[in-house]
Chain A
Amino acid sequence: MDAVEKANAERQKRWVKDQKVGEGTYAVVYRGRELATGRKIAIKKIKVGQFKDGLDMSAVREVKYLRELHHPNVIELLDVFSSKTNLNLVLEFLDTDLEMIIKDRSLVFLPADIKNWMAMTFRGLEFCHRNSILHRDLKPNNLLIASDGQLKIADFGLARDVADPGYKMTCQVITRWYRPPELLFGCRYYSTVVDIWSVGCIFAELMLRTPYLPGESDMDQLKTIFRALGTPTEEEWPGHTKLPDYVSVGQFPKTPLRDLFTAASADTLNLLSRCITYEPRKRISAKEALHHPYFFALPYPTHPSKLPKTAAQTASSRPLDEVDGNVDNTDGSGTSGVKNAPPKKLKRKLSGHDISRNIARRIDFTAS
């Protein structure tokens, strides 16, 4: 065997693949562990054989950037190995994502919780931007949450380096609801602040518990934005009518953010408005955002370990053998006949824990 193949085989042996936990557009994700330590990991298996141009661009981007980026708020790529025609990315295991947390109606968010999720998002993003990397697909489901509450930016399948000045980039990036208006107008020269708009939308979504600007088509997306924020004027966003795909979608009046975000503090609304500023050059940068008064005002951000958790997270922070006994959500690939039923005692204990937290949260919330 070649030295290179041998090294690959050695790396492969370090990791054990257990069961399937999810499936994305181009990959299947498994839960697994590090053989030597038992540490929980995720293995993202990308089938390469199916692409006629070889290694697919999303995989190339993801590997390229995650190999370089090491930060507490960016998902950690622990290893890469290949098996026959598959590429395997070994990632730190993350229990859930911000979308699941937002959708979990049994959880109540305090302003301090939102503040920490925002701080962690901006820290991770500032690090990407400092390394001249645009993420281009920020949305709640790409912000994964570790068992200790740390938020990690994931899914670098659309990321790229900041382009050289004058170099055209595609505007077909970022999931529609989180896409900034300059991209909707077909702007091909853009910068790191496209990601900031997305973060603004996520910020609003954390407060509203529902997507802030859910357009039904690209055209409707512009309308949805303008309905919420007012149609931009030439003064407020110079030159936008000259953008390649500019269309007029009607005149909508400005309504103060306060009308929708009734409970938010002035600092909160100021930071939000700086993220969803029309003129890209006036939009706040990740670095500036981290120095925004919002992060220094009361209430202070919740400690990550105290952030609201979904039931899955609460379960997974327990010792491994207990969790294993309680797993009944595997892919059902025929082995289900041998599974144990979840112990009743454990279940009750878990839900009891959730309820008490929720009540406490509610009281806190109304009192503040």
Chain B
Amino acid sequence: MLQSPTPHEVGSPKKTPLFQSSTQYKNWRFSEEQLMATRTTLNEAAVAAIRNTFESDSPGSSSDIQFLDAHEEHLLVKLYITKISQLCGHFRFPEEVEATGITYLKRFYLKNTVMDWHPKNVMLTALFLATKTTNHPISLESYTSNIPRTNPSDVLDLEFLVAQSLAFEFAVWHAHRAFWGIWLDEISQAPPHEQLQAIYDTALQHIRTSRLTDVELIYPPSQIALACLSLSHPEIAASWARSKHADTALEAIESIKRTITRDGDIPSVDVVREIDRRLKICKNPEKVVGSKAYLLKKAKEEKEAELKRVRKAESTRKAAEQDDPFGEELAGRANLDDDD
């Protein structure tokens, strides 16, 4: 699975593609504080909404429920990042698929909470979507039949929600790619080094570790790549940066290195198991198929849809009477009529 660069590419450096105009650069980079605030806000809103649902079902029922806090939600998501890697190993998916699936999972939980959507399912859908967006599609049948206790509908039911949460922005710029670029550059310039392979492997290992952290939501992939090279071999990283007149980058990467070292651990299974146990109680009942709250919500939606149908029939009739094919009424009708 380790795709080492071939010499073929060395002679023809690609022109730097335009990261600055990418959706990742524009819409998926945050400060640490912003990430914290986003997660806290999402969590608080979810707790309030779920509490409300419980209360309207039976007053007082939410008082002894221990809801998850933002940090606990985050730990659970982090554990499922490691599950994506396991699955990718099992399927022998390329690095690109794994990295993309992980990015999707993280981005999803900047828009949603685990109390609404359990990462166990979202993880499967995020990875399945990543196989498609990275052009390594696999049939849903062979995907789910290789995962225990999983049906095609478990994956498909969430696909739209995941795609929407990603704002349909599927392209991801990864640190491992940036790293390959630096490496090709470096080995074409540096004198042969005995431990080259080991340095390469260690750096790539750091990149994989970095996927457990938030760095990809904060820093550009090139800086993460350089930080990981620096964790593996500081001198090579420094000499590369100098040769590119990017000495300032060396300062920036120090905080990336600290974050990777600090947050790159796999969460303790015991801690996460306890979180998951509590989640069973505090998850949003409106999302539990068949529950009373779920049925109530469905009924409400059905009523709204019925109302919409009536309105539509009404305006179609009016439009026909007025004999005005391009008047406002018809435009209104066309707007409602989005599914025929």
Contacts and interface: CB of A to CB of B under 8 A. Distances in A.
B22 interface: yes
B275 to A, nearest CB: 22
B233 to A, nearest CB: 24
Given A2-B112, A17-B334, A82-B160, A130 B17 contact: yes
A339 interface: yes
Interface string A1-21: 011110110001000111100
B313 interface: no
Nearest to A129: B15
Nearest to A3: B111
B325 A52 contact: no
Interface stretch (A62-70, A97-105, A111-119, A254-262): A62-70
A132 B14 contact: yes
Given A16-B335, A132-B17, A338 B155 contact: no
B169 interface: yes
A53 interface: yes
A48 interface: yes
Nearest to B334: A17
Contacts, number: 107
B331 A16 contact: yes
Contacts of A61: 135
B121 to A, nearest CB: 14
Interface in B248-276: none
Given A16-B331, A132-B17, A67 B140 contact: no
A68 B168 CA distance: 11
A340 interface: yes
Interface residues of B, number: 52
B137 A53 contact: yes
A60 B162 CA distance: 13
A86 B331 CA distance: 20
A88 B335 CA distance: 13
**Interface bin, chain A:** 35 or more
B15 A17 contact: no
A160 interface: yes
A4 B161 contact: yes
Contacts of B200: none
A57 interface: yes
A338 B6 CA distance: 66
Contacts of A17: 334-335, 337-338
Contact of A8 (B14, B156, B164, B337): B164
Interface in A322-346: 324, 335, 338-340
Contacts of B23: 67-68
Interface string B2-44: 0101101100001101100111000000000000000000100
Nearest to B338: A83
Given A4-B112, A68-B21, A338-B323, A82 B164 contact: yes
Given A48-B160, A52-B141, 7 more contacts: A54-B159, A57-B137, A64-B133, A67-B171, A82-B160, A166-B6, A338-B325
Interface of A: 2-5, 7-8, 12, 16-19, 32, 48, 52-55, 57, 60-61, 63-65, 67-68, 70, 80, 82-86, 88, 130-132, 160-161, 164-166, 324, 335, 338-340
14 contacts: A2-B112, A3-B45, A4-B112, A4-B164, A12-B338, A53-B137, A54-B132, A54-B155, A54-B159, A55-B132, A60-B132, A65-B171, A67-B170, A82-B160
